[in-house]
């Protein structure tokens, strides 16, 4: 009995010393995995009960960049609170996740005072608030809002798009997809329109997609921190050429 009791007491500190060191993952500026020599930041990941706790640091000064819990080892599904910091160590934002979905975000001034708050319900904006640097709430504050077309965007495209350009260009039957990117300027003007890609080498399709978007009426500008900002948008347009009907003998 004495030997058994002594073994049980000795086993407790033995297991505490057997914990694994944190796994380290190196990241570039885009958040992609990279090598240590080219890393912008690095993550230290440890298992904490049923979740994985990740601390990310800037490589230049080893200051904490972000910290939070995740439900998966790959650190892709945050849960609960995730804090993000600037390179000087100042708290910048706090995100809260519930069941894998972003519930709310809080932004801070460098002084630590709240700058803005936004909450979501099923992916839609639920509430937005903002404060000045003295802590006074700003009425009607908009934290973030995507650029919006004033009317129905798809209806505009359908009315003004020349859908037979692929057929007129002599393309074979099938679908020809064009992905166009463009910028909505601070005043809502559509600028910098270009075709990022188009299938089947249908240059006529790309030109028509660029034309119809370039001629778009003004949009409602995007807003961030209660100010109008540039907004980059992408649009996919599909042109079709119907199969040729064969005549019967």
User: Cβ(168)–Cβ(241) under 8 Å?
Assistant: no
Closest to 184 (Cα-Cα) out of 157, 213, 142, 227: 213
Q: What is the mean pLDDT of residues 190-216?
A: 95
Residue 97 vs residues 123, 136, 161: alpha-carbon distances, Å: 12, 27, 41
Which of the listed residues 113, 144, 175 is the one where a domain comes to its end? 144
Closest to 106 (Cα-Cα) out of 95, 97, 121, 120: 95
Is the residue at 6 inside a domain? Answer: no
User: Is the domain of 181 the same as that of 93?
Assistant: no
User: Is the domain of 217 the same as that of 130?
Assistant: no
Domain of residue 111 covers 21-144
Q: What was the pLDDT predicted at 99?
A: 85
Whole-number mean pLDDT of the chain? 89
Give the CATH number for residue 167: 3.30.1150
User: Cβ(222)–Cβ(230) under 8 Å?
Assistant: yes
Is the residue at 1 inside a domain? Answer: no
Is the residue at 8 inside a domain? Answer: no
Q: What is the mean pLDDT of residues 166-192?
A: 95
User: Is the domain of 160 the same as that of 219?
Assistant: yes
Q: What is the mean pLDDT of residues 67-74?
A: 94
Q: What is the mean pLDDT of residues 187-207?
A: 95
User: Is the domain of 152 the same as that of 71?
Assistant: no
Is the residue at 71 inside a domain? Answer: yes
pLDDT of residue 14 exceeding 90: no
Which of the listed residues 144, 164, 197 is the one where a domain comes to its end? 144
User: Is the domain of 126 the same as that of 170?
Assistant: no
Query: How many separate domains does the chain show?
Result: 2
User: Is the domain of 156 the same as that of 215?
Assistant: yes
Structure confidence at residue 249 as a pLDDT band (50, 70, 90): very low
User: Is the domain of 85 the same as that of 153?
Assistant: no
User: Cβ(178)–Cβ(209) under 8 Å?
Assistant: yes
pLDDT of residue 175 exceeding 80: yes
């Amino acid at each position: 009995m004495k030997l058994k009791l002594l073994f049980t007491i000795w086993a407790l500190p033995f297991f505490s010393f057997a914990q694994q060191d944190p796994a380290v993952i190196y990241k570039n500026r885009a958040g992609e995995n990279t090598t240590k020599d080219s890393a912008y930041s690095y993550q230290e990941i440890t298992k904490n009960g049923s979740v994985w706790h990740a601390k990310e640091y800037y490589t230049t000064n080893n200051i904490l960049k972000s910290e939070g819990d995740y439900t998966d080892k790959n650190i892709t599904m945050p849960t609960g609170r995730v804090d993000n910091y600037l390179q000087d160590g100042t708290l910048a934002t706090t995100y809260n996740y519930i069941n894998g979905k972003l519930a709310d975000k809080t932004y801070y001034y460098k002084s630590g005072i709240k700058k803005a708050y936004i909450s979501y319900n099923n992916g839609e904006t639920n509430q937005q608030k903002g404060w000045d640097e003295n802590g006074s709430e700003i009425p009607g504050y908009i934290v973030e809002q995507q650029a919006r077309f004033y009317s129905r965007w798809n209806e505009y495209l359908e009315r003004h798009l020349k859908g037979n350009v692929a057929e007129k260009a002599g393309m074979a039957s099938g679908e020809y997809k064009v992905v166009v990117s463009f910028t909505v300027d601070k005043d809502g003007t559509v600028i910098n329109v270009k075709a990022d890609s188009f299938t089947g080498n249908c240059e006529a399709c790309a030109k028509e997609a660029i034309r119809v978007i370039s001629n778009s009426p003004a949009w409602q500008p995007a807003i961030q921190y209660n100010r109008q900002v540039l907004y980059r948008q992408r649009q996919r347009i599909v042109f079709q050429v119907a199969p040729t009907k064969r005549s019967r003998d």
